[in-house]
Amino acid sequence: MIITIPDETLSHVKISAAELLIDIAVYLYDKQRLSLGQARKVAGLDILSFQKELAKRNVYLNYSMDDLNNDIQNLDRL
C-alpha cells in the first residue's frame, strides 16, 4: 500500500517524510501493532537508532514476563 501526502502538507506541518515514518512506526510499536523489527523497518532505521527514537518519545520496549522467562531459560542452556 502506498500513502501519498503532498510535500506542501508536510511542509505546512513542519515535518519531513522520514520523521513522519518514524512517528508512525513508533506509534504502531507502542500500540503493539508492529514488532520491534517490523517497526524499525517501517522507520528505515537500524535497531539501535530505532530504540533511541523510542527513548526520545518515552516509549518503552515491549518486554513481558514471558519474554524474560524465555531469556532466562535460554541463558541456562549456555
The candidate with the shortest Cα–Cα distance to 7, out of 20, 22, 19, 17, is: 17
Asked if the structure places residue 28 within a domain, the reply is yes
Asked if the structure places residue 2 within a domain, the reply is no
The number of folded domains in the chain is 1
Asked if the structure places residue 66 within a domain, the reply is yes
Residue 29 CB neighbour total at 10 angstroms? 25
Supply the pLDDT for residue 54: 98
Asked if the structure places residue 1 within a domain, the reply is no
Supply the pLDDT for residue 14: 95
Supply the pLDDT for residue 1: 80
List average pLDDT for each run of 10 residues in the chain, which is 78 residues long. Answer: 90 94 97 94 96 97 86 86
Instruction: Quote the pTM value.
Output: 0.81
Cell of 12: 505546512
Supply the pLDDT for residue 69: 87
- Provide the domain limits for residue 34: 7-77
Supply the pLDDT for residue 64: 84
Supply the pLDDT for residue 47: 93
CA distance 54 to 60: 7
CA distance 18 to 13: 14
